[in-house]
Amino acid sequence: MIKRIKFIGIPVRDQDRALSFYTEKLGFRVLTDQEFSEKQRWIELSIPGAETGIALFTPDGHEDRIGTFVNTSWDVDDLEKTYAELRAKGVEFAGPPQKQSWGKSAILKDSEGNQIVLSSR
């Protein structure tokens, strides 16, 4: 049976730049970084304290997804604190945290322009 999501894929144009962003600014750890094809590597990262990881990889024919909204939301303990810490590291956001009826959210922009929701209750 299915027991968890192993990773989500995040399309990237520059794997080195994205790897730097996700490890240095977000604190993710490299699980694997190996050759996949002549054009790119398979880079899989782990999120400290989480079971689900991410893969910095763009399947052939999906290059148009780079720099768009990634349909995922990452849970954080304290959105305002996380927002302030990441902004201090140079991470760009679409705007400040917003309060919604279900909780709070802010949209992070990664090194490739991908937009990812950070949220907390």
Structure confidence by residue, pLDDT tens digits, 75-103 = 999 999 999 999 999 999 999 999 999 89
pLDDT bin (cut points 50, 70, 90) of residue 18 is very high
pLDDT at 1 over 90: no
pLDDT at 12 over 90: yes
The sign of the torsion formed by the CA atoms of 48, 18, 112, 65 equals negative
- Residue 11: name the closest of 50, 45, 54 by CA: 54
121 or 40, higher pLDDT: 40
Fold classification of 7-120 is 2,3-Dihydroxybiphenyl 1,2-Dioxygenase; domain 1 (3.10.180)
Domain boundaries, the chain: 7-120
| pLDDT at residue number 121 | 86
- The model's pLDDT over 65-74, given as tens digits with 9 standing for 90+, comes to 999 999 999 9
| pLDDT at residue number 107 | 98
Residues 6+ apart with CB under 8 A from 7: 44, 52, 53, 54, 55
pTM of the model: 0.93
